[in-house]
Amino acid sequence: MRRNVYTGAGMIALAAVLALGSVLISKRAVLQAGGMMAPKFEVDPYWPKPLPNHWVIGQTIGLSADTHDNIWIVHRPGTMELKETYLSRDESECCVPAPDVLEFDPAGNLIRHWGKAEGHDWPTSNHGITVDAKGNVWLGANGGGQPGPPPGSAEAYKKTAAPPPPPQAEPGVATGLGRYHDSFILKFTEDGQFVGEIGHAFASKGSNDTESVRGVATIRINEKTRELFAADGYGNHRVSVWDADTLAYKRHWGAYGKTPDDVNYGPYDPNAPHATQFRNPVHCAQPSDDGLLYVCDRVNDRIQIFKQDGTFVKEVYMLTNTRGDGSVWEIAFSKDPAQKYMYISDGANEKIHVYDRASMTEIYNFGDGGRQAGEFYAVHSIVTDSKGNVPRAACAEVHL
């Protein structure tokens, strides 16, 4: 039974890799922890409503809340397993991959959808979505090779050799960059009409390129300045900044505000000295209303905080014994004027960390790994809605 709790809260939306469904988590109270009061959330497993047309969602790899409090997601249709796509090949009555981009209203109704179109670049691997205040939809991408066969087709499941990854040098040596397909950010209308792009397929020249990107994980926009901040990302070791209206390059920087490089720094070692550059992926670049930028250096288990001109302010480490995929995935802020609370998705430890933003201290966390409502598998993206008070429910999570 759905429980609606009428307390003011910004909506938090969480996306997890390998998402098959989604739930709504409502703010119901405040939690006393560490001497601080903070929102507490509870899960509603009936959001969103079932999809039409026997559609199924694959790896859900990005989401955004627009100015109407609608939730947009982008997923990877090509990640469906064979048994999830029988209808694509007329082998049964179910099912087919859903279109890449889906928009849901606050009640969980699907209200818009679209996907790949011809005539412009399209990602090998979707990654990240943002809807700005003007209604433009921005897509990132992090695939190195050419796009594969149509999702769900017989060709998609043939046992063929995977394309070789971009060349990597030995640790400590600058990599031979090679060709990287998803060297672009795409811009669309809300109805999926192509507007333009930053960069082009296979165009990246590395972490100091001023014309292209390379494996962008997330895109966020400062609406006051109309600056687009790209976590740039899976191929580059930097934050890059672009004009959201003209698409012109503005600036970029690496860890500590330094000029980035393309050296392969090898696996993260929690006992080694702090890394002097970002490792791949640089997974988020989240602007705050007070002129700061919070960058997820995911594998290095740290958040680096900058002024939005690239001036380094400080860094904060989180669960530094986390190896593999790292602990800091994406960041969102509460919607009170001070943006007092910061929510950090952690897809390795399968938690959402609730921080006091001013002190950068953790108040509490929630979640765990699993496949039940309120549990996560590689919990990925997190956003808050455009309003400070929402009468119902504040947390949408897409999970396995």
| SS3 at position 318 | coil
DSSP H or E run through 63: strand 59-65
Q: Is the pLDDT of residue 211 over 70?
A: yes
pLDDT value for 311: 98
Q: How far is CA 28 from the centre of its chain?
A: 26
| Residue 1 forms part of a structural domain | no
User: 333-355, pLDDT tens digit by residue?
Assistant: 998 899 999 999 999 999 999 99
Is 216 in contact with 140 (CB distance < 8 Å)?
yes
In this predicted structure, what is the pLDDT of residue 46? Answer: 84
Confidence at residue 400, expressed as pLDDT on a 0 to 100 scale = 26
CA distance 146 to 96: 22
CB-facing half-sphere around the CA of 179: CA atoms within 13 A: 8
Partners of 283 in the β-ladder: none
Region 176-197: mean pLDDT is: 94
Instruction: Tell me if 351 is assigned to some domain.
Output: yes
What's the number of domains the chain is made of? Answer: 1
φ/ψ of 89, rounded to 5, equals -110, 15
Q: Quick check: 167 pLDDT over 90? A: no
Task: Say which amino acid occupies 264.
Answer: N
Q: Give the pLDDT confidence score for residue 10 in this predicted structure.
A: 38
Mean pLDDT of the chain: 86
The string of DSSP letters for 84-130 reads: G-GGGGTSSS--EEPPSEEEE-TTS-EEEEE---SSS---SSEEEEE
Q: State the pLDDT at residue 69.
A: 92
Is 212 a member of any domain?
yes
Does any domain span residue 307? yes
Instruction: Give residue 13's pLDDT band: very low, low, confident or very high (50, 70, 90).
Output: low
User: Between these two residues, 40 and 296, which has the higher pLDDT value?
Assistant: 296
Strand partners, 91: none
Residue 134 has pLDDT above 70, yes or no: yes
Mean pLDDT of 202-218: 97
Give the residue-averaged pLDDT of 172-180.
Answer: 72
Give the model's pLDDT for residue 40: 79
Query: What pLDDT is attached to residue 391?
Result: 23
Alpha-carbon gap, residue 284 to 362, rounded angstroms: 19
pLDDT score at 166: 61
Structural domain span for residue 212: 12-399
**CA 87 centroid distance within chain:** 29
Q: Above 60 in pLDDT, residue 332?
A: yes
pLDDT at 162 over 80: no
Q: 229: domain CATH number?
A: 2.120.10.30
Residue 332 tokens, joined:
């969102």
Of all residues in the chain, the percent with pLDDT exceeding 90 is 71
Instruction: At 84, give phi and psi (nearest 5°).
Output: -90, 0
Look at residue 29 and tell me whether its pLDDT is greater than 70: no
Half-sphere exposure (Cβ direction) of 211: Cα atoms closer than 13 Å: 6
pTM (two decimals): 0.90
User: Which pLDDT score, from 0 to 100, does residue 245 have?
Assistant: 98
Q: Using alpha carbons, select from 396, 398, 400, 399 the residue that is nearest to residue 66.
A: 396
Residue 7 lies in a domain: no
Token reading at 196: 């333009």
**SS3 track for 13-45:** EEEECCCCEEEEEEEEEEEEECCEEEEEEEEEC
Residue 6 forms part of a structural domain = no
> pLDDT confidence of 206, banded at 50, 70, 90?
very high
Closest CA to 14 of 365, 387, 391, 290: 365
pLDDT at 174 over 80: no
Dump pLDDT digits (tens) for 278-316. 999 999 999 999 999 999 999 999 999 999 999 999 999
Residue 3 falls within a domain, yes or no? no
Listed range (86-100, 141-155, 301-315) with the worst mean pLDDT: 141-155
Counted residue by residue, the chain has a size of 400
What are the helix (H) ranges across the chain? none
Mean per-residue pLDDT, 155-174: 67
186 is a domain residue: yes
pLDDT by residue (tens digit) across 225-266?
A: 999 999 999 999 999 999 999 999 999 999 999 999 999 888
What is the rounded radius of gyration, in angstroms, for the C-alpha atoms of the chain?
Answer: 20
